[in-house]
Structure 1
Amino acid sequence: MRLGFLSLIALGAMLTSASAQTLTIATVNNGDMIRMQGLSSAFTEETGIELNWVVLEENTLRQNVTTDVATNGGQYDVMTIGTYEVPIWAKQGWLKPLDGLAADAEYDIDDLLPPIRQGLSVDGKLYAAPFYGESSMLMYRTDLMEKAGLEMPEAPTWDFIAEAAAAMTDRANDISGICLRGKAGWGENTALITVTANSFGARWFDEDWRPQFDQPEWKNALDFYVKLVTESGPPGASSNGFNENLTLFQQGKCAMWMDATVAASFVTNPDDSTVADKVGFALAPDTGLGKRANWLWAWSLAIPASSQNADAAEQFIGWATDKAYLETVAAQEGWANVPPGTRISLYENPEYQAAAPFAEMTLGSIYAADPTQPSVKPVPYVGVQFVAIPEFQGIGTTVGQLFSAALAGQMTVDEALAQAQESTLREMTRAGYIK
C-alpha cells in the first residue's frame, strides 16, 4: 500500500521517539468506519504507529469532539467530523490544515469531487479529508412496489411517496410503508426534516435571520412528515435514526427508506441484507417547486489543533482516504462496498460502475444539492440540511427534540413549530443576528 512522502514523516517520528506513537481516533459507529477500524492493522504494521479507537454513536460523537476541540482538550489526534463543522472550526483555528496531503501528487487532491472538497476547505486550504461523501435518495423494495401495482418514477414526488407508502404498509406482516428518521439530533431527524422542508419551500431563516417556523411552508412540511410516518412508518419511529432504520430495511421491515446515499451498499449486500436483490433507487422526492430533498455531507477525518501527533495523524488520514484504501476495500469486500462519494476516479472506474447499481444515482444526488441555494426562497446562510453558523448545533438539537416529540404524539405539530420559533428567535437574538 502506498505511503509516499508521509512514510518519511512516520520514519522520522519513530527514529526520534523511544516508544511507538499512539494515535487516538474518534469516529462514528457506522459500517464504513467500523470497516476502516478492522483494516487499520495494516497501517500499524507498516508504520509502527499504534491506534486507539473511540467509536461512538453519532450524537455522542458530536458532543464529545465538539467539547474537546472547543476547550483545546487534546483528547483526540484524529476526529471524524462533517461538512458542518469543518469550515466553522477551521476559521476558529481549531483544526490543522492538511498541507502535506495537498502537496502530495500521489494522494491527488484534485481527484476529490469538487462539491465535497469545497465543503471541507477554507481559503483554498483543505482542513479535513473526506472518508465518504453522500447526499440523500430513496431506497425501495421493488417486489413490494410491484405487488402494490405501482411503478417508482426516477424522480418521485412526495404525493406519490405517500400514496405508495400507504399501499405497501402491511401491519399483519410487520412491514412499514416507509422508514424516516425520528431520533432527535441536529444531524439525525433535523437533517432529514430540513431537506424535506426545503422541498416544500420552507427555510430556516429569512434574509434578515428571522426564524421561519411560523410560516405556512413549515406547517405544510411538518404536517406531511408526521402524518406520513405516523400512518405508514414503524412503531417507535421517534427513536429511530440512521442505524435503526438501516436495520429495519435490511430485515425486510421497510418498503421504502429515504436517507443517506451511503446506505446503498449496506442494503444491497447479501451478507447483511435479506432483501439485497430486491432494492431499487430513486431521487429524493420533491413537491414540484424546484427543490428536491437532497442534502450534502461528508464524514471526514481532521486533526484538532491540540494534537501532539499531527504528522502521524496526517499520515493516518492519508492512508484512510487515498485511492489505495479504496482498492484494499474492493479486494477484500468487493467494489460495491468501497466508501463512496469522494473521488472522481471512483465514478470513472468501470469495475465500480458494474458492481454498484447505485453509483450514478449517488453521484447525481451529490451534484443536485446546492449549499448556497438550499431552498426555494433566498436565504442568508450556506448549508442544505444544516445552517453553517456556530449556533446551529444547539438550535438544531432543540428543534429536533421538538419535532421528535411531535412525531411521538407528545405535542401537536402547531405546538412544536411555535416552540421552535420561540426558542430559535431567542437564541438568534442573543447571538446578535437579530437586532
Structure 2
Amino acid sequence: MTMITRRGALLGGAGMLAAPALVSQVDAQGAFNWRRFAGERIEVSLTANPRSQILIQNQREFEELTGIRVGSEAIPEQQHRQKFVIEFASGRPSFDVIGISLHVNKRQVGRARWTADLKPMIADASLTSPDFDFADFGAGAVAYSTQADGRMDTLPEFTDYFILYYNKEIFARAGVQVPTTYDEMYETARRLTDARAGQAGFVGRGVRNANVVLYTSFLLGTQQRDCTDANQRLLTDTPDAIAAGEFYKKIMRDCAPQGVAGFNWNEAQTSFSQGRAAMWLDGVGFAAPLEDPTRSRVAGKVGYAVVPRGAARHHCALFGTGLGISAGSNERKRGAAWLYLQWALNKRNQLRFLTAGAGAPARQSPYRDEEAIRTSRFGRDYFETLIASSRIAHPGLPEIVPVTEFRDTLGTALTNTIGGADVATELRRATEAFRPILEQSERAT
C-alpha cells in the first residue's frame, strides 16, 4: 500500500489551493505563463507502479495550474512495453507522454527517434519555468536519459541503484565492519556463513536472466566496466569479464543459501528479511518491505551502504525510468506535454516519491529534506547511501536493443557456474551465442 505522509498530503493540498492564485500572480507580472496551452488535452501512458499512482492521484494540481486536461493510464510493465513499441512503430501513438524503462528500451527508443529531444525545451525560457532547476537532477540520472548522439529524449524520473543491505544485528554479534571492497565483502560473507544455523553470509540473484545485474555489478569494479565497447561489440569473454564471473561464482557457491541458483529478487528478499542472510546486494526499491514489521523480521535492523569498491573502479549499477514526449505529437501538444513533465518531476512530486517509499527520485533535493529524513522509517544511512550512490552510478546493463536475449543467454551461463561449471568456458560459449544476435540488431534499421 502506498504511504503518503502528512507532509506530502499538506504539500499536495497547498499546491491545489494555491494554483489559481499562483497563475493569476504570474500572469499579472508578465512572468512565466503556465496557462499558455490552456484548453489542450494530452494523453499520458505510464507503467503501473507506486510513482505513477502518485502522479495520477495528484494530476488535478497540474490541471488547475495549467488549464490542460490530462488523460492518464497505468499499465503493468511488460504489457506497457509491448504497447508503446507497437504504437510507436505504427506511426500513430495514442499518447503524448510516455514512461520508459531506460535499462530496457533506451537504445530502441533513441535509435528510432520516437521521443523528442528535450534540450531545446529546457533552454527555452518561454517553455521552462524558472524554478525547474535542472541542475537538481543527479548527474548519473541525466547521463542515463541522454542518448549517445547527445539527444536527451527523456527526463529522468526514478533511479534504481544497487546498494548493500546488511543485517546490523548479525554484524554486531560477530564484531565485523561493513565491507568497503568486494574482496572484503567475500571474506566477511565467508565469516558470517553458518550452514548449521541456517545463516548465509550473502544472498543475491542466481536464476537465469535476473542474475545478470548482480554479475554486472561485479564487472563494474573492473577496468573494463562495461559489457560492450563504444562500437557495440560484445565484451563478455575478456579477462575482466571472466574475473567478474569467477567472483560471482565464488561468493554464490561459498556464501549463499542452498538453492540460490533458483533465486530471483523475491527469494533473495525473503531470505534476507527473515534474518537468514547477513548481506544482500540489490536495488534500492526493497528498503520499504524490509522495514515493514508485518512482513520482515529484520525491520529496524537493516543497515544500508554503498556497494563495495572493485579492484579497479568504484561504481554501483544504475537502472531507471524516464518520461518522454512523443515526437509525433503536434507542436501545441508537445508544449503542453513539456509542462506536464516539469510538473510531474518537480521537487514536490519527487519528494512524494521518496516519503511514500515509492523509490529513489532522480533529483537530489529530496534526500536533503531534513523533515523527510527525520520522520522517515528509514535511517539516515539510507538517505546518505542514495546520495553517495548517485555520484558513482553507471548503467548496469549494456545499452542495446536485445536486452532480454542478452540477459537470457548470459544468465544461463552464470547459473551454470553456480552449479560448478567452468566460468571461462561458459562465458565464451554465451558470448559466441549472443554475438550474432547483437550484430544483427545493430544492422537493423
User: What's the TM-score, normalizing by structure 1?
Assistant: 0.75
71-80 or 133-142, larger mean C-alpha shift = 71-80
2:156 maps to: 130
Of 118, 121, 129, which residue of structure 2 is paired with 1:104? 129
> C-alpha separation between the residues in 1 aligned to 2:121 and 2:175?
55
State the alpha-carbon separation in 2 of the partners of residues 210 and 412 from structure 1.
Answer: 23
Q: State the one-letter code of the partner of 2:346.
A: D
Aligned to 2:174: 148
Q: Decide which moves more: 200-209 or 357-366.
A: 200-209
Residue deviations 1:63-102 (CA, integer Å, cap 9, x gap) = 6544554454636552232266446623531113446676
Q: Distance in 2 between matches of 1:250 and 1:422?
A: 39
Which residue of structure 1 aligns with residue 253 of structure 2?
230
- Alignment coverage as a number of residue pairs: 397
Structure 1 residue 397 corresponds to structure 2 residue 400:
no
CA gap of 1:386–1:87, structure 2 versus 1, over 3 A, is same
Cα distance change of structure 1 residues 235 and 74 upon mapping to structure 2, 3 Å threshold? farther
> Is 1:291 aligned to 2:313, yes or no?
yes
Partner of 1:42: 58
Residue 419 of structure 1: aligned partner: 429
Match of 1:78 among 94, 98, 111: 98
* Distance of aligned partners of 1:34 and 1:426 in 2 relative to their CA distance in 1, 3 Å threshold: same
The CA distance in 1 between the partners of 2:316 and 2:161, in whole Å, is 6
Aligned-pair CA distance for 1:144 = 0.9
1:84-99 paired onto structure 2 within 5 Å? 85-86=105-106, 89-98=109-118
Separation in structure 2 between the aligned mates of residue 367 and residue 65 of structure 1, nearest angstrom: 31
Q: Which residue number in structure 2 is paired with residue 360 of structure 1?
A: 384
SS in 2 for 1:301: strand
| CA shift for structure 1 position 235 | 4.4
- Alpha-carbon distance in 2 for matches of 1:267, 1:6: 44
RMSD of aligned alpha carbons: 3.8
1:195 aligns with 2:195: no
Q: Which residue of 2 aligns with 1:113?
A: 138
Equivalent-residue separation in structure 2 for 1:349 and 1:222 (angstroms): 40
Shift of 1:396: 2.3
Paired with 1:278 and 1:114, the residues of 2 have a C-alpha distance of 31
Q: Which runs of 5+ in 2 are unaligned?
A: 1-14, 24-31, 64-68
Counterpart-to-counterpart distance in 2, 1:54 and 1:412: 41
TM-score calculated relative to the size of structure 2: 0.73
CA-CA distance at 1:407 after TM superposition: 5.0
The offset of 1:221, in angstroms, is 2.0
Residue in 2 that maps onto 1:162: 186
1:367 positional shift? 1.1
How far did 1:349 drift? 2.8
1:296 offset after TM fit, Å? 2.8
Matching residue of 2:73: 52
In structure 1, what residue type is equivalent to 2:365?
S
Distance 1:79 1:109 in 2: 19
Aligned position for 1:324: 348
Instruction: State whether residues 81 and 301 of structure 1, in contact with CA within 8 Å, keep that contact through their aligned partners in structure 2.
Output: no
Q: Give, in angstroms, the shift of residue 278 of structure 1.
A: 1.1
> Equivalents in 2 of 1:311, 1:26: separation in Å?
22
Q: Secondary structure at the match of 1:135?
A: strand
Partner residue of 1:250 out of 273, 286, 292: 273
The question of 1:8 aligning with 2:31 is answered no
- Measured at CA, do residues 294 and 177 of structure 1 come closer, stay the same or move farther in structure 2, by a change above 3 Å? same
Take 2:94 and 2:255, find their aligned partners in 1: how far apart are those partners? 43
Q: Deviation string for 1:251-303 (max 9, x for gaps)?
A: 4343211122444455345565432311222332234x321351233322223
Which has the higher mean CA deviation after the structures are superposed, 252-261 or 304-313? 304-313
Separation (CA, whole Å) in 2 of partners of 1:248 and 1:280? 16
Whole-Å separation in 2 of the counterparts to 1:213 and 1:84: 19
Structure 1 position 316, deviation (Å): 4.7
Alignment partner of 1:346 out of 366, 373, 378? 366
Could you say which structure has the larger radius of gyration?
A: 2
Over residues 361-409 of structure 1, what are the superposed CA-to-partner deviations in whole Å (9 max), with x where a residue is unaligned? Answer: 222222124x5xxxxxxxxxxxx42333x34525523433323541563
* Change in 2 beyond 3 A, CA 1:400/1:104: farther
Partner of 1:380: none
1:129, 1:207 → 2: CA distance? 23
**SS of equivalent residue, structure 1 residue 228:** helix
Write the deviation string for residues 124-183 of structure 1: whole angstroms up to 9, x where unpaired. 664222222243221100111122332224x2x223222322333345665432221234
CA contact (8 A) 1:189 1:404 kept: yes
Q: Deviations over 1:202-250 (max 9, x none)?
A: 5534677654443333333212212322333244434444454334433
CA distance in 1, matches of 2:219, 2:296: 30
Maintained 8 Å contact 1:250/1:267: yes
Task: Find the residue that maps to 1:364 and give its secondary structure.
Answer: helix
CA distance in 1, matches of 2:239, 2:352: 50
Q: 1:114 to 1:292 in 2, by over 3 A?
A: closer
Q: 1:30 corresponds to which residue?
A: none
* SS, match of residue 317 in structure 2: coil
Question: Match for residue 378 of structure 1?
Answer: none
Residue 50 of structure 2 aligns to which amino acid in structure 1? I
